[in-house]
């Protein structure tokens, strides 16, 4: 592992969705005490830290991503004292704690917005993005909300529209206003002073908008749509040139990094949804003076072949320079990888090799709760849908609830998550792969993850070494990780068929301890279905 100041560089961060991790109070909703109760389990995975999705005071119209008080815990999740206990327990186990920061927008219930919308002359009149209607009363431009419809809502008090990239109840903060920018940095300092180890930055490329409010151009016919949104959403029909990813954002990220540098050992990971995501990741993490790391939706999309993953890696390698990625194949916003990528594959074997591939990439990793169990996407009936995104775009897009259902700790009542019916239904298929079922089985996905992460940390080249893609045929993915005197050839068979390839380098020994099976004879490697090979090369 790395030293305490650069723990994040190559580290694995376990994402916890608090509402669905463990209910300690019997109200059907997960909470901070529940997380604290299960931190020993998290530590047993051999991860470096946790990322907690929002637990701040909120009306919960977007489940905490609409913050009304950045410096307190919503009573639904507990108290600030509960968080301090969680933080202390995590640190005692050697786990770092990162928390979400949703600073591009607030809840409409936030005191800043309540004041701002009163009139055009109050002290916070310019803290949000306000604009006059066109002469015919329509919105100022063609910008769209990710959650459907125009990104503008008219307010009768100011006789103006306000911008919201998401729900109408999530007004965008005006980052062109220096006081608003500083206020958000001060909110982050509050948590740093409490001892958090870093931040996951929600929609980190959404902070600034075009001050001239120019229209976005359409996506030319036949060109790909790369943003992390379903193609049935009209949001993907525009090139997002003016509403997000503005050049002014870079200077703010430098201010943010200066704040983080006051707290040695802390880190940031930014979420990037962009028309050119890998380019944006490189821009935002290069140079050591902006974000520490970032992730995109390139491995959170539907494409999953070895060829596609190879193209993503090679494209990032061309762009990266000294930029540092954080890779993820699942999170709280997308269909679980076991279903999104593995729906037609072996439900036990496929998640193991897919995660082994993820853990072997150059970069840091975010591992979403339940991914270590190989959980498939839950099927949530329409009458139980909670996600506003799903309600708007149903049935072509069913929202994000399917990846947010309760963590299955046991195969008993309510999966050991709660003593009552939880906020989202327990997926019955999850009971067969619950933690209690997998815990004592050495060949389970859970124990495969533990074994693979221990193996990763035993080989510095896999932790933060260089990476070079090698040719092992169209159906296999292969690359060499190198650090110091250690060179490790990694080859992955993500298919259900046996594959063979001529080895692209001179193998000196086969590595053990990773739990996968392969056969090597002379210069030929044979990989059974859903297997991987790790070899030292000279």
Binned at pLDDT 50, 70 and 90, residue 221 comes out as confident
Average the pLDDT over 124-139 and give the result: 98
Beta-strand pair 160-163/152-155: antiparallel
* Sign of the CA dihedral running 297, 303, 305, 308: negative
Mean pLDDT, rounded, for 143-170:
97
Residue 319, pLDDT score: 87
Average pLDDT of span 68-97? 98
Q: What is the pLDDT of residues 346-365, one digit of tens each?
A: 999 999 999 999 999 999 99
Percent residues over pLDDT 90 in the chain: 91
Q: Given this model, what pLDDT does residue 1 score?
A: 44
Q: Would the pLDDT of 452 be above 70? A: yes
State percent of the chain over pLDDT 70. Answer: 99
Distance (Å, whole) CA 245 – CA 281: 11
What is the reported pLDDT for 226? 65
- Per-residue pLDDT tens for 292-317? 999 988 999 999 999 999 999 999 99
* Region 11-23 average pLDDT: 98
Over residues 216-241, the mean pLDDT reads 85
Q: Is the pLDDT of residue 475 over 70?
A: yes
**Where are the alpha helices (H) located in 123-177, listed in sequence order?**
none
pLDDT of residue 3: 66
108 is an active site residue? no
Given the residues 193, 212, 262, 522, the one annotated as active site:
262
**Mean pLDDT on 63-82:** 98
pLDDT at 510 over 50: yes
Q: Is 72 a catalytic residue?
A: no
CB under 8 Å to 502, separation ≥6 — which residues? Answer: 523, 524, 525
Average pLDDT of span 115-132: 98
> Tokens 């902070």 belong to which residue?
207
Report pLDDT digits (tens) over 47-68.
Answer: 999 999 999 999 999 999 999 9
In the predicted structure, residue 320 carries a pLDDT above the cut 70: yes
pLDDT at 230: 77
pLDDT of 184 over the 60 cut: yes
Catalytic pick among 100, 202, 274, 371: 202
pLDDT recorded at residue 321: 81
Which pLDDT score is estimated for 177?
98
Assess whether pLDDT exceeds 80 at residue 2.
no
Instruction: Give the mean pLDDT of the chain.
Output: 96
For domain 466-537, say whether CATH 2.60.40.1180 is its number.
yes
Give 266-333 as a 3 state SS string: CEEEEECCCCCHHHHHHHHHHHHCCCCEEECCCCCCCCCCHHHHHHHHHHHHHHHCCCCEEECCCCCC
How is the chain split into domains, by residue range?
A: 12-105+178-452, 466-537
Q: Select the CATH number that applies to the domain covering 12-105+178-452 from these four: 1.10.1040.10, 3.30.70.270, 3.20.20.80, 3.30.360.10.
A: 3.20.20.80
pLDDT tens by residue, 321-349: 888 999 999 999 999 999 999 999 999 99
Q: What is the pLDDT of residues 245-295, one digit of tens each?
A: 999 999 999 999 999 999 999 999 999 999 999 899 999 999 999 999 999
Confidence band of 391 (pLDDT split at 50, 70, 90): confident
140: alpha, beta or left, given left = phi > 0 and alpha = psi -120 to 50? alpha
What is the pLDDT, as a whole number, of residue 227? 67
Dist CA 174 CA 252 (whole Å): 13
Query: pTM, whole model, 2 decimals?
Result: 0.96
Q: Average of pLDDT values for 477-506?
A: 97
Whether the predicted pLDDT of 468 surpasses 80: yes
Q: Residue 354: its pLDDT value, please?
A: 98
């Amino acid at each position: 592992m790395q030293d305490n100041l650069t723990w994040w560089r190559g580290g694995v961060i376990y994402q916890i969705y608090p509402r669905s991790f463990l209910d300690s109070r019997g109200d059907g909703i997960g909470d901070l005490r529940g997380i604290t109760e299960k931190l020993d389990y998290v530590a047993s995975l051999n991860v470096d830290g946790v990322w907690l999705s929002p637990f701040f005071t909120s009306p919960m119209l977007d489940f905490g991503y609409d913050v009304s008080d950045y410096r307190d815990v919503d009573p639904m999740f507990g108290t600030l004292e509960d968080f301090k206990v969680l933080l202390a327990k995590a640190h005692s186990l050697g786990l770092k704690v990162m928390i979400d920061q949703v600073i591009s927008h607030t809840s409409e219930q936030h005191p800043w917005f309540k004041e701002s919308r009163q009139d055009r002359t109050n002290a916070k009149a310019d803290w949000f993005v306000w604009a006059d209607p066109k002469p015919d009363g329509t919105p100022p431009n063609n910008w769209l909300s990710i959650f459907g419809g125009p990104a503008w809502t008219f307010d009768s008090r100011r006789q103006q529209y306000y911008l919201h990239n998401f729900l109408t109840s999530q007004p965008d903060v005006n980052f062109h206003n220096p006081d608003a920018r500083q206020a958000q940095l001060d909110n982050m300092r509050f948590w740093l002073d409490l001892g958090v180890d870093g931040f996951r930055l929600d929609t980190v490329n959404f902070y600034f908008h075009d001050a001239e409010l120019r229209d976005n151009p359409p996506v030319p016919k036949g060109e790909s749509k790369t943003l992390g949104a379903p193609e049935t959403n009209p949001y993907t029909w525009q090139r997002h040139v003016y509403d997000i990813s503005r050049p002014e954002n870079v200077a703010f990220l430098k201010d943010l990094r200066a704040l983080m540098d006051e707290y040695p050992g802390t880190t940031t990971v930014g979420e990037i949804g962009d028309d050119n995501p890998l380019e944006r990741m490189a821009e935002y993490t290069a140079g050591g003076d902006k974000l520490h790391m970032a992730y995109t939706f390139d491995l959170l999309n539907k494409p999953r072949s070895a060829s596609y993953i190879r193209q993503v890696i090679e494209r990032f390698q061309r762009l990266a320079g000294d930029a540092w990625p954080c890779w993820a194949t699942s999170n709280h916003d997308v269909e679980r990888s076991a279903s999104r990528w593995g729906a037609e594959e072996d439900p036990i074997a496929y998640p193991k090799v897919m995660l082994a591939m993820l853990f072997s990439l150059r970069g840091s990793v975010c591992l979403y709760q339940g991914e270590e169990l190989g959980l498939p996407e839950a099927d949530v009936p329409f009458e139980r849908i909670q996600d506003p995104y799903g309600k708007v775009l149903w049935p072509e897009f069913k929202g994000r609830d399917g990846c947010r259902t309760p963590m299955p700790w046991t195969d008993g009542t309510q999966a050991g998550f709660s003593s009552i019916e939880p906020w989202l239904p327990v997926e019955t298929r999850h009971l067969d792969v619950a933690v209690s079922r997998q815990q004592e089985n050495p060949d389970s996905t859970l124990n495969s993850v533990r074994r693979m992460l221990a193996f990763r940390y035993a080989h510095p080249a896999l932790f933060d070494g260089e990476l070079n893609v090698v040719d092992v045929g169209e159906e296999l993915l292969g690359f060499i990780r190198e650090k110091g005197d250690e060179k490790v050839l990694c080859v992955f068979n993500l298919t259900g068929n046996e594959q063979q390839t001529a080895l692209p380098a001179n193998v000196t020994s086969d590595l053990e301890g990773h739990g996968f099976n392969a056969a090597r004879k002379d210069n030929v490697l044979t990989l059974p279905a859903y297997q991987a090979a790790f070899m030292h090369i000279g």
